[in-house]
Amino acid sequence: MALHRLTSVTIGVPNVTETAAYYEEFGLTRLDASAGLRGDDPPDRLEVRFATVDGGEQLRLVPSPRRRLVELGIGVADPEDLDSAAARLAAADVAADQTPDAVAAVDPGTGVRVTLGVAGPVDARPAPVIPQNGPGRADRGTARAEPILREGPVRPRKLGHVVLGSTDLEASERFFIQGVGFKVSDTIAGAASFLRCSTDHHNLLVQAAPVPFLHHTSWQVDDVDEIGRGATALLEKDPARHVWGLGRHHIGSNFFWYLKDPAGNFSEYYADLDCIIDDQLWKPEVWNDIRALYNWGPPVPEAFLAPSDLAELMAAAHQP
């Protein structure tokens, strides 16, 4: 695959300092707190960068009057892939900027700038296989379960996917599929497309929305215990951060827990997502029942489907 990974997201928020503190607690590693800071700048002029364990620098928080995804970075294997992407975008009637190192274009439906650049693979140290006991099966022998002995903060391995609201779903699908080169993994009839630019089931979900907005970013952890540990630690500090979880999605199969950052963006811990190693063996399906949302878990909260600040974002979008 010419595209092979998500590299990074740049999220604009009105409260960079507060939001940065949240992502540090979420388990990302803060790289620098001073880039862009001048002596007379108020704290929320800060730009803050974060890294994951396996993905390197993957999150940048920048000041913005309203929360939004500013940029999505995608890694390609080599420079020729940039030429192919530029040709695909041109064929899809999308204006793109090409430099020797990058191709960039803006999706008309989500307003997000997508930048493709040559990037190395995500270098993941394989997660250990944890023995689990089951009926008639004492795989762990005489020992306590390893997850209950874990200490220290949860550290997300990588940025897994991004979910965006689009005011023109068809245009966004055309942009990301025909233009950028994403593949379709599954679809929710008339509402959303699960797209991949790697062997992960999805790296991007675009969904129809009344205003372009960032629904959530999703961060991979080793297993369901790490999801539970990470979410519990965040909720001990502030229970109002809870959005939805613990549960298991049907589309993509991953365990999930969604929490809200101080700007109103949702952030998801996930584990055990489906992989599509062989395109020929995967049959994309169209979903139109509750499995579009989840397989099991607490009832879907209304605020997950329509974040409470949507009206505010719509009003802001219509301001000159």
Binding site for Fe ion (CB under 5 A): 218, 268
Residue nearer to Fe ion on the CB measure, 63 or 160? 160
Kindly report the backbone phi and psi dihedral angles of residue 199, in degrees, each rounded to the nearest multiple of 5, phi listed first: -85, 0
Residue nearer to Fe ion on the CB measure, 46 or 224? 224
The separation between CA 300 and the C-alpha centre of its own chain, rounded to angstroms, equals: 19
Residue nearer to Fe ion on the CB measure, 175 or 194? 194
Residue nearer to Fe ion on the CB measure, 10 or 218? 218
Residue nearer to Fe ion on the CB measure, 268 or 272? 268
- Smallest gap from Cβ 138 to Fe ion, in A, equals 35
284: nearest Cα among 203, 198, 192, 184: 184
- Smallest gap from Cβ 218 to Fe ion, in A, equals 4
Q: Which residue lies nearest Fe ion, judged by its C-beta? A: 218
| Cα-based distances in Å from 52 to 28, 224, 310 | 6, 18, 29
For 114, the enclosing helix (H) or strand (E) is strand 113-118
- Smallest gap from Cβ 23 to Fe ion, in A, equals 16
- Smallest gap from Cβ 294 to Fe ion, in A, equals 11
- Smallest gap from Cβ 137 to Fe ion, in A, equals 32
Residue nearer to Fe ion on the CB measure, 186 or 268? 268
Residue nearer to Fe ion on the CB measure, 200 or 268? 268
Query: Rounded distance, CA 197 to CA 286, Å?
Result: 19
Query: Rounded distance, CA 107 to CA 85, Å?
Result: 14
- Smallest gap from Cβ 160 to Fe ion, in A, equals 8
Strands 192-196 and 96-98: unpaired
| Cα-based distances in Å from 235 to 23, 260, 308 | 13, 10, 19
The separation between CA 134 and the C-alpha centre of its own chain, rounded to angstroms, equals: 33
- Smallest gap from Cβ 63 to Fe ion, in A, equals 26
CB count within 10 Å of CB 296 equals 10
* Cβ-proximal residues to 239 (8 Å cutoff; 6+ apart), any chain: none
27: nearest Cα among 274, 234, 309: 234
